[in-house]
Amino acid sequence: MVNLAVYRQRVQQASLLRQIGVVTKVVGLTLEVKGFKPFVGEVCMVDVPGSQPIVAEVVGFREDVVLLMPYGELTGVCPGCRVEPRRRAFTVRVGEHLLGRILNGLGEPIDGRSLPRGIPMPVNNRPPSPLARRRIDRVFATGVRAIDGFITCGRGQRLGIFAGSGVGKSVLLGMIARFGSADVNVIALVGERGREVLEFIEKDLGPEGLQKSVVVVATSDEPALLRLRAAFVATTIAEYFRDTGRDVLLLMDSVTRFALAQREVGLAVGEPPTTRGYPPSVFALLPRLLERAGNSESGSITGFYTVLVEGDDMNEPVADAVRSIVDGHIVLKRELAVANHYPAIDVLASVSRLMPSVVTPEHRQAAGRQRELMAAYRQAEDLINIGAYVAGSNPTIDRAIAVHDQINGFLRQGPDEYTAYDEAVERLLSIERG
């Protein structure tokens, strides 16, 4: 006999009336809608006369007015347009078929090939429980000597790459994606120039890097909500591969443009600007995004997040907030880039908080001693350059001068020059031994 209780319960819980809202006003980036009661984050379809419906998301309320922001252009929207809620939050379909593919901020393909339907996953997942995170005790090899030698990263660690414009952060990301010891790369290009996307994929990432990567793109000309979603979509895809037991590398360029997109959304719905024009929601959203990377019981997500510092100001609000959340920072210096020193990593201004937990004591001591010598050379550099320093005056400076060229040779590395982790450590130790 068929048990009808389950079906009876479904019928009783089913909503037999479909709520439809209507557009009453368009203000800047937002749609004001009346006539229905959706929840924040709900996906809605806006009917546009003579055109395809526009996908929009509920971002807030103002008394009986619902505020929506579109994932596309508002062209064609007029007063009275019907708005139908979909009774679900935004999801992205994930699966193994995403490897080697290029997606937009909604998780749809933009590389001209169809995409099989995968498993739907909500993009607004919570970070793993603090007690469910495995400790970080293994090295994540990047293939970049300056990082592996002096700013060693652990599997599941999150590092910020802080740089001004035009100092080589895209090239450095491409090197880490190609040479890194991850099973899968997930790369989010948030707010990038349209010209730079194909250039990064073909030049910096290359065919061998793309093979094991998923690239999510939302260029600077796209709506703010789409740029926000691109960061969350990429993180959700990385979480899927982590849950299958793999070590994932998540590269995001850039967190600053993610924060600027949230600033647009916050100001559009009426949030007050506080710190240098950023509303409070920006600083609430950053940890929700960054804390999702890390180790789980099955796999890991190692995150590298670029931060575009305005005017090379390392203490501007977004840079300061990101630095307080992540597990270390890599600083790219314009002075080094101008001197043709690539990658332009300022080792003395960079730090990995987990390096002591993942490297050998011998490696840690050698890196520490070479840092001391680099610091001594930098302090005496002006005297050395004008010939005012007298050899023998200070043994530390004498040693710093002796190894200066060797350290610079170690730190400089071509974009196509791969160095294995063990080889990088051995080269560092050989400099130490003299």
Q: What is the 3-state secondary structure (H, E, C) of 215-255?
A: EEEEECCCCHHHHHHHHHHHHHHHHHHHHCCCEEEEEEECH
Question: Residue 417 sits in a domain of what CATH number?
Answer: 1.20.1270.330
Answer whether residue 420 is part of any domain: yes
* 3 part of a folded domain: no
- Same domain for 160 and 274? yes
The CATH number assigned to the domain holding 120 equals 3.40.50.12240
* DSSP element (H, E) containing 408: helix 395-411
User: Are 348 and 367 in a shared domain?
Assistant: no
Same domain? For 146 and 256 the reply is yes
- What band does 15 get if pLDDT is binned at 50, 70 and 90? low
Q: Is residue 9 part of a domain?
A: no
pLDDT confidence band for 17 (50 / 70 / 90): low
Residues 263 and 321 in one domain: yes
The pTM of this model reads 0.91
61, 89, 117: which is the final residue of a domain? Answer: 89
Tens digit of each residue's pLDDT (9 = 90 or more) over 31-79: 999 988 899 999 999 999 988 999 999 999 988 899 999 998 888 899 9
The enclosing domain of 37 has a CATH number of 2.40.10.170
Write the pLDDT tens digit of every residue in 226-282: 999 999 999 999 999 999 999 999 999 989 999 999 999 999 888 998 888 899 999
From the list 303, 359, 312, 310, the residue with the least C-alpha distance to 332 is 312
Half-sphere exposure of 414 (CA within 13 A, CB side): 3
pLDDT band with cut points at 50, 70 and 90 for residue 320: very high
In this predicted structure, the answer to whether residue 204 has a pLDDT above a threshold of 90 is no
Rg (Cα) of the chain, in Å, rounded? 25
- Inside any domain, residue 340: yes
pLDDT of residue 94 exceeding 80, the answer is yes
pLDDT digit string, tens, across residues 113-161: 888 888 999 998 888 888 888 999 999 999 999 999 999 999 999 999 9
- What is the distance between the alpha carbons of residues 157 and 139, in angstroms, rounded to a whole number? 10
Among the listed residues 282, 294, 286, 274, the one whose alpha carbon sits nearest the alpha carbon of residue 325 = 286
Q: Hey, what are 375's tokens? A: 């610091």
Domain count, the chain: 3
Residue 334, SS3 per DSSP? helix
The residue type of 86 is: R
High-pLDDT (> 90) share of the chain, %:
70
Angle between helices 280-290 and 224-243 (to 10 degrees): 20
* Exposure string for 313-342, b = 16+ CB within 10 A, e = fewer: eeebbbbebbbebbbbbbbbbbebbeeebb
Greater pLDDT, 73 or 400: 400
Shared domain for 174 and 113, answered yes or no, is yes
> Domain range holding 169?
92-359
297 with 258, same domain: the answer is yes
